[in-house]
Amino acid sequence: MARERSLQELYAQDPERADALAFGRRGALKGTALAAMGAALGATIPFAARMPGGLLPAALAQTAGGTPTLRMDGKAPLILLGERPLVAETPEAMLDDDVTPIDKFFIRNNGQIPERFAADPKTWRVKIEGEVNTPLDLTLGELESRFEVVTLRLQMECGGNGRAAFAPETRGNQWGNGAISNGEWTGVRLRDVIRAAGPKDTARFTGHFGADPHLSGDTSRPAISRGMPIAKAMEDTTLIAFRLNGQPIPQIHGYPLRLITPGWPGSLSQKWLNRIVLRPTPHDGPGMGGTSYRVPVKPIVPGSSNNGADFVDIASMPVRGLLTNIAHGTRMPAGTRRLDLRGHAWAGDKTVRAVHVSTDFGASWAEMRVNEAPNRHAWQRWQGAVELPTDGYFELWTRATDSDGRMQPHAAANWNPQGYAANAMARTAILVG
């Protein structure tokens, strides 16, 4: 017992040293350390010999300690990452629905949440201006009556989803894999509205503005204001949305009007949308340039300093899959040998070609069945089953492959100072018996 405690304490107090002790010089798990780890887990680790060097079991990888929970009417008990700005992540096992219910939507704010628009929502105004022949100043009611209204299931994912997998730790909210949603959004196509404004040839980029005040409360500066190349704005799945899952968009998610730019960083889905400017050059608002929503072209040393001058803006988000019917930390009855699994996978602008699950740290993989998306930019359902050889501690590693054949890596790749676009495969620890 003393050994168990000391190992746990060591991980809590000095994970680097614990890591060094647990793994041999060549990265193999040493006999005594392995035994200690098994004892600490209260289980044997059947596939220990195949554990990659330097990679801790998911169950031991991080320090123990409660994660605060969001307590808020109308929201499920999400993982609270911060109160101001209010940021909360959806646990992976809460993402099992095909259409993400509103209470399970993750929350990301860059500034303060604005006061709720108290007038008739149909009187909310949005301007389309800049490089257009006919600047528009439309009410939500006019948007709805003048343009075709469409309803689509669309993924929206934070650009920092998966950030917690970066080593060393980067700046920003330490998201696991749960900064993703797949809501049913109703709105008008941004491209129809841009066309109505008569874009000039010089309209090559967008810039988006919303009503949320800057965190400091300074109303003269936007909290966040990002933009995209015109090609993405003209996609038929990029919406100016006013309903989510058939209801008015909740205040916290951008009531009454927001952009939905599926497959690209969620910061392009401007909440409380009140203005879109068409520009000849990339937008320069807060959240653009430097290391913001940008990743290295030439990989940099993890943990090093960089001003991001040579980085590029993230466009499509990378491929990712989630296991959603078994929660991390589930204990199963002794003798459990077969697990029916299901989840979702998505790949930004691309589609998901395959999902595989490994129970042995990646030594072997079982292929799952992957459904087609009901519409472009919706996530895809996958399901299948795996067999377990014995009781004990297992990790279910979920790995999706996109339509170009690119797979999720074991570890977060292309380290960058603000920790974007990490898509290390998801790891779900279970204990049988």
Site residues, other proteins (CB under 8 A): 8, 11, 15-16, 40-43, 58-68, 70, 72-73, 80-86, 112-113, 115-120, 164, 167-169, 171, 173-174, 176, 214-216, 218, 221, 251-252, 286, 290, 292, 303, 305, 328-331, 393, 427, 429, 431
Q: How far apart are CA 333 and CA 430, in angstroms?
A: 11
3-state secondary structure (DSSP) of residue 370: strand
| Minimum distance from residue 31 beta carbon to other proteins (Å) | 21
Strand pairing partners for 205?
229, 279
Measured distance CA(108)–CA(158) in Å, rounded:
8
How far is Cα 235 from Cα 44, in angstroms, rounded to an integer? Answer: 51
Q: CB of 401: closest distance to other proteins in angstroms? A: 24
We find the least distance from the C-beta atom of residue 269 to other proteins, in angstroms, to be 19
- Omega before residue 256 within 30° of 0, cis: yes
Residue among 248 and 280 whose Cβ is closer to other proteins:
248
Q: Which of 27, 42 has the CB closer to other proteins?
A: 42
Task: Report the nearest approach of other proteins to the CB of residue 321 (Å).
Answer: 17
**From the CB of 9, what's the least distance to other proteins, in Å?**
11
Output the smallest distance, CB 366 to other proteins, in A: 23
CB 88 within 8 A of CB 103: no
Q: Rank residues 60 and 319 by Cβ distance to other proteins and give the closer one.
A: 60
Contacts of 119 (CB under 8 A, 6+ apart): none
What is the rounded CA–CA span in Å between residue 387 and residue 46?
13
Cβ-based nearer residue to other proteins, 251 or 375:
251
CB of 70 to other proteins, least distance (A): 8
Q: Which residue has the tokens 């109160």?
A: 83
Task: Rank residues 40 and 193 by Cβ distance to other proteins and give the closer one.
Answer: 40
- Burial (Cβ within 10 Å: 0-12, 13-18, ≥19) of residue 432: buried
Closest CB to other proteins among residues 115, 387: 115
Tokens 């949308």 -> residue: 273
Of residues 270 and 418, the one with the C-beta less far from other proteins = 418
Residue closer to other proteins by CB (options 233, 339) is 339
Least distance (Å) between residue 66 CB and other proteins: 8
Closest CA to 288 of 339, 227, 344: 227
Q: Could you give the dihedral angle defined by the CA atoms of residues 19, 24, 30 and 35, in that order, rounded to the nearest 10 degrees? A: -10
Q: Give the per-residue SS3 of 156-219.
A: EECCCCCHHHCCCCCCCCCCCCCCEEEEEEEEEEHHHHHHHCCECCCCCEEEEEECCECCCCCC
| Min dist. Cβ of residue 131 to other proteins (A) | 26
* Nearer CB in complex with other proteins: 58/347: 58
Angle subtended at Cα 291 by Cα 226 and Cα 314, rounded to the nearest 5 degrees? 55
Q: How far is the CB of 251 from other proteins (least distance, A)?
A: 5
DSSP 410: S
Q: Which helix (H) or strand (E) holds 332?
A: strand 330-332
The count of C-alpha atoms lying within 13 angstroms of the C-alpha of 235, restricted to the half-sphere facing its C-beta, is 20
Q: Smaller CB distance to other proteins: residue 133 or 220?
A: 220
